[in-house]
Structure 1
Amino acid sequence: MPNTQTALKSTLTYDDGVIEKIAGLAARNVEGVLALNGGMLSDITDRFRSQSDPTQGIDAEVGKKQVALDMNATVEYGKDIQRVFDQVTERVVRDIKNFTGLDVIELNLHINDVMSKRDWQEQAKGKPNSQHATETKQVQ
Protein backbone atom coordinates (compact mmCIF):
# COMPACT_ATOMS: atom_id res chain seq x y z
CA MET A 1 0.00 0.00 0.00
CA PRO A 2 1.58 3.40 -0.97
CA ASN A 3 2.19 6.08 1.67
CA THR A 4 -0.38 8.84 1.10
CA GLN A 5 1.00 11.08 3.83
CA THR A 6 3.06 14.02 2.51
CA ALA A 7 5.96 15.62 4.31
CA LEU A 8 5.15 18.82 6.13
CA LYS A 9 7.16 21.80 4.98
CA SER A 10 7.34 24.51 7.61
CA THR A 11 9.34 27.69 8.10
CA LEU A 12 9.92 29.99 11.05
CA THR A 13 11.05 33.55 10.33
CA TYR A 14 11.45 36.70 12.42
CA ASP A 15 10.76 40.31 11.59
CA ASP A 16 13.80 42.54 12.12
CA GLY A 17 11.82 44.39 14.80
CA VAL A 18 11.44 41.25 16.91
CA ILE A 19 15.21 40.73 17.00
CA GLU A 20 15.77 44.45 17.65
CA LYS A 21 13.35 44.29 20.57
CA ILE A 22 15.07 41.27 22.14
CA ALA A 23 18.47 42.95 21.73
CA GLY A 24 17.17 46.23 23.15
CA LEU A 25 15.63 44.67 26.22
CA ALA A 26 18.77 42.60 26.87
CA ALA A 27 21.13 45.58 26.46
CA ARG A 28 19.07 47.92 28.63
CA ASN A 29 19.53 45.49 31.53
CA VAL A 30 23.30 45.93 31.50
CA GLU A 31 24.64 48.14 34.29
CA GLY A 32 26.15 51.26 32.73
CA VAL A 33 23.87 51.45 29.69
CA LEU A 34 21.79 54.58 30.22
CA ALA A 35 19.96 54.52 26.90
CA LEU A 36 19.92 53.04 23.45
CA ASN A 37 19.43 55.84 21.01
CA GLY A 38 20.06 56.66 17.41
CA GLY A 39 21.47 60.16 17.57
CA MET A 40 19.88 63.47 16.61
CA LEU A 41 17.13 62.17 14.28
CA SER A 42 16.11 59.60 16.87
CA ASP A 43 16.01 62.29 19.56
CA ILE A 44 13.69 64.40 17.40
CA THR A 45 11.27 61.54 16.78
CA ASP A 46 11.46 60.56 20.47
CA ARG A 47 9.87 63.90 21.38
CA PHE A 48 6.70 62.89 19.55
CA ARG A 49 6.36 59.40 21.05
CA SER A 50 4.04 58.70 23.94
CA GLN A 51 5.35 55.17 24.61
CA SER A 52 8.80 53.65 24.81
CA ASP A 53 10.31 51.88 21.81
CA PRO A 54 12.74 49.14 22.84
CA THR A 55 14.01 48.92 19.24
CA GLN A 56 15.28 52.52 19.21
CA GLY A 57 18.99 52.75 18.52
CA ILE A 58 19.15 49.22 17.07
CA ASP A 59 19.28 47.99 13.48
CA ALA A 60 19.12 44.27 12.74
CA GLU A 61 19.70 42.26 9.62
CA VAL A 62 18.01 38.91 10.08
CA GLY A 63 18.72 35.88 7.92
CA LYS A 64 17.43 32.33 8.15
CA LYS A 65 19.99 31.30 10.76
CA GLN A 66 22.04 34.39 11.60
CA VAL A 67 21.68 37.97 12.82
CA ALA A 68 23.85 41.08 12.50
CA LEU A 69 23.23 44.03 14.82
CA ASP A 70 24.24 47.68 14.93
CA MET A 71 23.47 49.40 18.23
CA ASN A 72 23.90 52.97 19.53
CA ALA A 73 24.15 53.70 23.23
CA THR A 74 24.70 56.33 25.87
CA VAL A 75 26.87 54.95 28.67
CA GLU A 76 27.24 56.11 32.25
CA TYR A 77 30.35 58.20 32.84
CA GLY A 78 32.92 56.40 34.98
CA LYS A 79 31.92 52.90 33.89
CA ASP A 80 34.39 50.59 32.17
CA ILE A 81 33.06 50.88 28.61
CA GLN A 82 34.90 47.76 27.42
CA ARG A 83 33.22 45.79 30.23
CA VAL A 84 29.82 47.30 29.37
CA PHE A 85 30.38 46.27 25.74
CA ASP A 86 31.36 42.73 26.77
CA GLN A 87 28.25 42.38 28.95
CA VAL A 88 25.94 43.80 26.27
CA THR A 89 27.43 41.38 23.75
CA GLU A 90 27.09 38.40 26.10
CA ARG A 91 23.47 39.13 27.04
CA VAL A 92 22.29 39.99 23.54
CA VAL A 93 23.93 36.92 21.97
CA ARG A 94 22.58 34.66 24.72
CA ASP A 95 19.02 36.00 24.63
CA ILE A 96 18.71 35.94 20.85
CA LYS A 97 20.07 32.37 20.74
CA ASN A 98 17.84 31.19 23.62
CA PHE A 99 14.65 32.84 22.35
CA THR A 100 15.02 32.31 18.59
CA GLY A 101 17.79 29.79 17.92
CA LEU A 102 19.52 32.37 15.70
CA ASP A 103 23.26 33.03 15.93
CA VAL A 104 24.51 36.60 16.28
CA ILE A 105 27.44 36.76 13.88
CA GLU A 106 28.11 40.48 14.21
CA LEU A 107 27.36 43.03 16.92
CA ASN A 108 28.58 46.59 16.58
CA LEU A 109 28.04 48.92 19.53
CA HIS A 110 28.59 52.61 18.90
CA ILE A 111 28.90 54.75 22.04
CA ASN A 112 27.47 58.13 21.09
CA ASP A 113 27.63 59.78 24.52
CA VAL A 114 28.81 59.38 28.10
CA MET A 115 27.19 61.21 30.98
CA SER A 116 26.61 60.90 34.67
CA LYS A 117 23.49 59.04 35.70
CA ARG A 118 22.20 62.21 37.37
CA ASP A 119 22.70 64.35 34.25
CA TRP A 120 21.11 61.67 32.09
CA GLN A 121 18.07 61.39 34.35
CA GLU A 122 17.63 65.15 34.29
CA GLN A 123 17.91 65.27 30.49
CA ALA A 124 15.70 62.19 30.05
CA LYS A 125 12.71 63.46 32.03
CA GLY A 126 9.58 63.01 29.96
CA LYS A 127 11.22 61.00 27.18
CA PRO A 128 9.51 57.61 26.84
CA ASN A 129 12.57 55.54 25.89
CA SER A 130 14.65 56.99 28.67
CA GLN A 131 11.89 56.34 31.19
CA HIS A 132 11.83 52.67 30.14
CA ALA A 133 15.55 52.37 30.75
CA THR A 134 15.20 54.04 34.15
CA GLU A 135 12.45 51.62 35.18
CA THR A 136 14.56 48.67 34.01
CA LYS A 137 17.50 49.80 36.12
CA GLN A 138 15.35 50.15 39.23
CA VAL A 139 14.14 46.55 38.95
CA GLN A 140 17.67 45.16 39.22
Structure 2
Amino acid sequence: MDNPKIAQTSLTFDEGVIEKIAGLASRRVDGILSFDGNLLDNITDKLRSKVDPTQGITAEVGEKQVALEMNATVEYGYDIRQIFTQVCDVIGDEVERLTGLKVIELNFHVNDVLSKKEWKEQNSRKPNSDLEPKPEAK
Protein backbone atom coordinates (compact mmCIF):
# COMPACT_ATOMS: atom_id res chain seq x y z
CA MET A 1 0.00 0.00 0.00
CA ASP A 2 1.33 3.44 -0.88
CA ASN A 3 1.99 5.81 1.99
CA PRO A 4 -0.82 8.32 2.30
CA LYS A 5 -0.01 12.02 2.49
CA ILE A 6 -1.33 12.11 6.04
CA ALA A 7 1.36 11.84 8.70
CA GLN A 8 -0.43 9.35 10.95
CA THR A 9 -3.01 6.86 9.76
CA SER A 10 -4.64 3.69 11.01
CA LEU A 11 -6.68 0.96 9.35
CA THR A 12 -8.37 -1.63 11.55
CA PHE A 13 -10.93 -4.37 11.00
CA ASP A 14 -13.72 -5.61 13.22
CA GLU A 15 -13.66 -9.34 13.96
CA GLY A 16 -16.98 -9.67 12.14
CA VAL A 17 -15.44 -8.41 8.89
CA ILE A 18 -12.73 -11.07 8.97
CA GLU A 19 -15.28 -13.74 9.96
CA LYS A 20 -17.47 -12.77 7.01
CA ILE A 21 -14.56 -12.85 4.55
CA ALA A 22 -13.55 -16.29 5.88
CA GLY A 23 -17.12 -17.58 5.73
CA LEU A 24 -17.79 -16.40 2.20
CA ALA A 25 -14.38 -17.49 0.87
CA SER A 26 -14.55 -20.96 2.41
CA ARG A 27 -17.85 -21.71 0.72
CA ARG A 28 -15.87 -22.14 -2.50
CA VAL A 29 -14.43 -25.37 -1.09
CA ASP A 30 -16.29 -28.52 -2.12
CA GLY A 31 -17.25 -30.82 0.72
CA ILE A 32 -18.21 -28.24 3.32
CA LEU A 33 -21.91 -28.45 4.09
CA SER A 34 -22.11 -25.78 6.78
CA PHE A 35 -20.37 -23.92 9.55
CA ASP A 36 -22.04 -24.44 12.87
CA GLY A 37 -21.88 -22.42 16.03
CA ASN A 38 -22.16 -23.36 19.66
CA LEU A 39 -25.42 -24.14 21.48
CA LEU A 40 -26.40 -20.46 21.74
CA ASP A 41 -25.72 -19.95 18.02
CA ASN A 42 -27.85 -22.98 17.19
CA ILE A 43 -30.76 -21.65 19.28
CA THR A 44 -30.38 -18.22 17.65
CA ASP A 45 -30.27 -19.88 14.23
CA LYS A 46 -33.78 -21.24 14.80
CA LEU A 47 -35.05 -17.70 15.42
CA ARG A 48 -33.03 -15.98 12.71
CA SER A 49 -34.67 -15.09 9.43
CA LYS A 50 -31.54 -14.00 7.55
CA VAL A 51 -28.45 -15.89 6.43
CA ASP A 52 -25.34 -15.38 8.60
CA PRO A 53 -22.08 -16.27 6.81
CA THR A 54 -20.13 -15.78 10.06
CA GLN A 55 -21.91 -18.54 11.99
CA GLY A 56 -19.45 -21.09 13.33
CA ILE A 57 -16.47 -18.82 12.69
CA THR A 58 -14.64 -16.68 15.23
CA ALA A 59 -11.70 -14.38 14.60
CA GLU A 60 -9.09 -12.66 16.69
CA VAL A 61 -7.72 -9.68 14.83
CA GLY A 62 -4.43 -7.96 15.58
CA GLU A 63 -2.69 -5.10 13.83
CA LYS A 64 -1.05 -7.35 11.22
CA GLN A 65 -2.30 -10.87 11.90
CA VAL A 66 -5.49 -12.90 12.26
CA ALA A 67 -6.35 -16.14 14.05
CA LEU A 68 -9.49 -18.06 13.12
CA GLU A 69 -11.55 -20.87 14.59
CA MET A 70 -14.11 -22.68 12.45
CA ASN A 71 -16.65 -25.40 13.28
CA ALA A 72 -17.78 -27.28 10.20
CA THR A 73 -20.01 -30.08 9.04
CA VAL A 74 -18.48 -31.81 6.04
CA GLU A 75 -19.91 -34.07 3.38
CA TYR A 76 -19.27 -37.77 3.74
CA GLY A 77 -16.90 -39.15 1.11
CA TYR A 78 -14.61 -36.12 0.86
CA ASP A 79 -10.99 -36.23 2.04
CA ILE A 80 -11.24 -33.99 5.10
CA ARG A 81 -7.49 -33.30 5.10
CA GLN A 82 -7.82 -31.96 1.55
CA ILE A 83 -10.81 -29.83 2.55
CA PHE A 84 -8.74 -28.39 5.41
CA THR A 85 -5.80 -27.60 3.11
CA GLN A 86 -8.09 -25.89 0.60
CA VAL A 87 -9.83 -23.87 3.35
CA CYS A 88 -6.45 -22.70 4.68
CA ASP A 89 -5.30 -21.66 1.19
CA VAL A 90 -8.53 -19.93 0.17
CA ILE A 91 -9.00 -18.04 3.43
CA GLY A 92 -5.34 -17.11 3.79
CA ASP A 93 -5.27 -15.70 0.25
CA GLU A 94 -8.60 -13.87 0.49
CA VAL A 95 -8.03 -12.29 3.92
CA GLU A 96 -4.59 -11.07 2.85
CA ARG A 97 -5.85 -9.83 -0.54
CA LEU A 98 -8.73 -7.86 0.94
CA THR A 99 -7.17 -6.62 4.18
CA GLY A 100 -3.40 -7.06 4.03
CA LEU A 101 -3.58 -9.13 7.24
CA LYS A 102 -1.88 -12.53 7.48
CA VAL A 103 -3.79 -15.51 8.81
CA ILE A 104 -1.29 -17.04 11.23
CA GLU A 105 -3.57 -19.61 12.83
CA LEU A 106 -6.61 -21.52 11.63
CA ASN A 107 -8.23 -24.11 13.87
CA PHE A 108 -10.74 -26.15 11.86
CA HIS A 109 -12.99 -28.39 13.94
CA VAL A 110 -15.14 -30.95 12.14
CA ASN A 111 -18.22 -31.49 14.28
CA ASP A 112 -20.13 -33.82 11.96
CA VAL A 113 -19.94 -35.80 8.72
CA LEU A 114 -23.18 -36.25 6.78
CA SER A 115 -24.31 -37.20 3.31
CA LYS A 116 -25.69 -34.25 1.39
CA LYS A 117 -29.16 -35.83 1.58
CA GLU A 118 -28.98 -36.22 5.39
CA TRP A 119 -27.73 -32.66 5.77
CA LYS A 120 -30.52 -31.23 3.58
CA GLU A 121 -33.15 -33.15 5.56
CA GLN A 122 -31.78 -31.87 8.88
CA ASN A 123 -31.34 -28.29 7.72
CA SER A 124 -34.32 -27.54 5.53
CA ARG A 125 -35.83 -24.18 6.44
CA LYS A 126 -32.77 -23.01 8.41
CA PRO A 127 -31.42 -19.67 7.20
CA ASN A 128 -27.80 -20.82 6.78
CA SER A 129 -28.85 -23.81 4.69
CA ASP A 130 -29.62 -21.38 1.87
CA LEU A 131 -26.01 -20.16 1.55
CA GLU A 132 -24.67 -21.26 -1.79
CA PRO A 133 -20.99 -21.19 -2.72
CA LYS A 134 -20.05 -17.94 -4.40
CA PRO A 135 -18.00 -17.78 -7.60
CA GLU A 136 -14.42 -16.70 -7.04
CA ALA A 137 -14.07 -12.92 -6.72
CA LYS A 138 -11.54 -11.18 -8.94
State if a TM-score over 0.5 links the two structures: yes
- Structure 1 or 2: more helix by fraction: 1
Whether 1:98 and 2:63 are equivalent positions in the alignment is no
Whether 1:67 and 2:66 are equivalent positions in the alignment is yes
Structure 1 moving runs of 4+ over 3 Å = none
Matches of 1:113 and 1:39 in 2, distance apart? 13
In the TM superposition, residue 126 of structure 1 has moved relative to its aligned partner by: 0.6
Residue 3 (structure 1) aligns with: none
Matches of 2:49 and 2:12 in 1, distance apart? 29
Matches of 1:63 and 1:7 in 2, distance apart? 22
Is the radius of gyration larger for structure 1 or structure 2? Answer: 1
Larger mean Cα displacement after TM superposition, 31-40 or 88-97:
31-40
1:60 is aligned with what amino acid? Answer: A
5+ residue gaps, structure 2: none
* 1:67-121 Cα deviation digits (max 9, x unpaired): 0001000000111000000001100000000000000000000000000011111
Matches of 2:99 and 2:70 in 1, distance apart? 19
Say which of 122, 127, 136 aligns to 2:133. Answer: 136
Number of residue pairs the alignment of both structures matches: 132
Residue 58 (structure 1) aligns with: 57
CA 13–80 in structure 1, closer or farther in 2 if over 3 Å, else same: same
TM-score by length of structure 1 reads 0.89
In the TM superposition, residue 39 of structure 1 has moved relative to its aligned partner by: 3.7
Matches of 2:41 and 2:78 in 1, distance apart? 24
CA RMSD after TM alignment: 1.7
TM-score by length of structure 2 reads 0.90
SS in 2 for 1:111: strand
SS in 2 for 1:34: strand
Contact between 1:124 and 1:131, CA under 8 Å: does it hold in 2? no
In the TM superposition, residue 7 of structure 1 has moved relative to its aligned partner by: 5.2
Contact between 1:39 and 1:112, CA under 8 Å: does it hold in 2? no
Identity over aligned residues, as a percent?
Answer: 57
